[in-house]
């Protein structure tokens, strides 16, 4: 069992001022794997004070120096990849091979993309030839509260910490208390890379405690949060009291629209994508919309894919999915599976209970429901588990109507060999991202959603600019 109770404040590991013990549970075993402290107001205030004190020096530092700092972070992060994978696997249940190849590498991907795109940002630029003494200045928002989730820890930490550093912000990170161990490793990485004291701080805590304290803190200029829409609403209300900038990356209920002319691997690809990370991804394609003429075959293929999806402990090597993150998450998923049965959806794979041979751990059977309609609970609520709902449609317009009939708008998917049809669908789908025919978004593409899926964009140039304020200056001296 690991035991790490300190917080990282002002460039050093410090004992909590106002903390209480919290057990971190290994979801593969249901056993305590670490003990941390959840901070209190004194800890939050100390971290914010450190960030505030460091801000004047860091926000006006040379952008080239900040870029060099991020490059050093990448070097240390790469060297600590195995340590990071072990922490992620133990705290949230990602299979160890997947933790290294996908979870850790997502952080590498984002850091590299920010480095590559940084020269596209002009911190001081002319307004235009018509106004030779006008300048547009982009400068750091200020002290930022970064609140990250448990499902893709380093994906979200790097999407927030790295652009904030490049922008010249100082920050306090509050990782999920369910999965805090990877952020302990992350803080060690930043310390080794030489991040100046007070620029990056980390305090463990829960949402009602440290999360609420940070989002309402008068000395915090911006809060960037990734998590549930419910929590995003609470954070927005709390942040409104101090009129701080708010960035939200929230839930999703993505539609994967499979037309009759889709490629032969479309259904398998969609089901596997849904089950990836044990279904614990906000952009998972959990609603599979299938054109009626191929519907029965698609249901059969999806059910076969679920039955072939191996479930095993996160500590085993190999290609499989692990447990869901916690007992609460397991119970929620079981309740929603039961709700699908009760509301008349046809269960064609998986179902209630653990997979055969797994009597301990928060393991969920990969589950497929057919004959779902878009008003059923399993089609409306974000399940965050390996549960796929299949809905039939008759044509393009009906597919669009079903796909857009959701409070969410994060990622939708389209499968068709008709390029004109794909383009029409991409234009009309109400989501921040659309991926078609299995093609992922390219390097530096923005990540974020519409409607209840959030406010703002992360990644690439957009991710850095989210941490910048724009200042218009008239009377700039061209001789200075």
- Which residue is catalytic, options 33, 91, 169, 249? 249
In DSSP notation, 224-267 reads: EEES-HHHHHHHHHHHHTTT-EEEEE-----EEEE-TTS-TTHH
d(CA 106, CA 390): 29
Indicate the angle between helix axes 63-79 and 153-167, nearest 10 degrees: 160
> Hunting for tokens 């549960």 — which residue is that?
387
d(CA 99, CA 411): 23
DSSP state of 140: E
**Which residues touch 3 (CB under 8 Å, ≥6 apart)?**
34, 35
Q: How many CA atoms lie within 13 A of 478 on its CB side?
A: 6
> Hunting for tokens 């998923």 — which residue is that?
333
Name 23's bridge partners.
35
What is the layout of strands, in order, in the sheet containing 20-26?
2-3, 31-38, 20-26
**CA-closest candidate to residue 175, choices 321, 51, 22:** 22
Q: Is 249 a catalytic residue?
A: yes
Pull the structure tokens for residue 469.
């304020």
**DSSP-H helix ranges across 80-136:** 81-92, 96-98, 105-117
- Cα pseudo-dihedral 258, 282, 85, 194, rounded to 10: 130
6 by DSSP, 3-state: which? coil
- Which residue is catalytic, options 91, 169, 282, 435? 282
CA 419-421-423 angle, 5° bins: 70
First to last CA, the chain: 60
Burial class (CB in 10 A: 0-12, 13-18, 19+), 271: buried
Q: Is 282 a catalytic residue?
A: yes
What is the layout of strands, in order, in the sheet containing 387-393?
346-349, 367-370, 387-393, 287-291, 255-258, 411-415, 433-436
d(CA 221, CA 103): 30
Do residues 106 and 152 touch, judged by C-beta distance below 8 A? yes
Name 210's bridge partners.
none
Name 121's bridge partners.
none
Question: Known catalytic residues?
Answer: 249, 282
């Amino acid at each position: 069992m690991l035991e790490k109770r300190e917080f990282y404040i002002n460039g050093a590991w410090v004992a909590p001022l106002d903390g209480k013990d919290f057990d971190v549970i290994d979801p593969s075993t249901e056993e305590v794997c670490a003990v941390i402290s959840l901070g209190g107001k004194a800890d939050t205030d100390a971290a914010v004070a450190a960030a505030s004190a460091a801000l004047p020096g860091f926000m006006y530092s040379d952008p080239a120096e900040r870029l060099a700092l991020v490059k050093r972070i990448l070097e240390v992060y790469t060297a600590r990849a195995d340590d990071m994978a072990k922490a992620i696997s133990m705290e949230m249940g990602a299979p160890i091979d997947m933790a290294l190849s996908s979870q850790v590498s997502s952080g590498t991907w984002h850091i590299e993309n920010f480095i590559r795109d940084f020269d596209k940002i002009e911190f001081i630029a002319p307004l235009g030839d018509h106004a030779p003494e006008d300048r547009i200045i982009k400068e750091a928002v200020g002290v930022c509260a970064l609140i990250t989730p448990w499902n893709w820890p380093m994906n979200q930490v790097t999407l927030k910490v790295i652009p904030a550093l490049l922008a010249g912000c100082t920050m306090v990170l509050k990782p999920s208390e369910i999965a805090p161990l990877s952020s302990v490793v992350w803080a060690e990485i930043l310390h080794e890379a030489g991040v100046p004291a007070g620029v990056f701080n980390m305090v463990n805590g829960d949402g009602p405690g440290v999360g609420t304290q940070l989002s309402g803190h008068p000395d915090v200029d911006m809060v960037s949060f990734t998590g549930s829409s419910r929590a995003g609403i609470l954070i927005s209300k709390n942040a409104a009291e101090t009129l701080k900038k708010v960035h939200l990356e929230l839930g999703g209920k993505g539609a994967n629209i499979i037309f009759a002319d889709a490629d032969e691997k479309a259904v398998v690809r969609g089901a596997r994508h849904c089950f990836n990370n044990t279904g614990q991804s906000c952009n998972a394609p959990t609603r599979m919309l299938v054109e009626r003429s191929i519907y029965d075959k698609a249901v059969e293929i999806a059910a076969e894919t679920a039955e072939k999806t191996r479930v095993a402990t996160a500590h085993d090597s190999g290609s499989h999915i692990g447990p869901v993150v916690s007992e609460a998450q397991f119970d929620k998923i079981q309740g929603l599976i039961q709700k699908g049965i009760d509301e008349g959806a046809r269960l064609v794979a998986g179902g209630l209970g653990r997979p055969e041979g797994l009597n301990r751990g928060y393991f969920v059977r990969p589950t497929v429901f057919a004959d779902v309609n878009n008003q059923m609970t399993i089609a409306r609520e974000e399940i965050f588990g390996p549960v796929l709902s299949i809905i039939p449609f008759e044509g393009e317009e009906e597919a669009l109507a079903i796909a857009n009939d959701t409070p969410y708008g994060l990622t939708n998917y389209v499968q068709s060999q008709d390029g004109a049809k794909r383009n029409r669908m991409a234009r009309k789908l109400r989501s921040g991202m659309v991926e078609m025919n299995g093609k992922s978004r390219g390097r530096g593409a923005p990540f974020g959603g519409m409607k209840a899926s959030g406010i703002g964009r992360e990644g690439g140039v957009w991710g850095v600019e989210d941490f910048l304020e724009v200042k218009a200056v008239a009377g700039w001296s061209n001789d200075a």
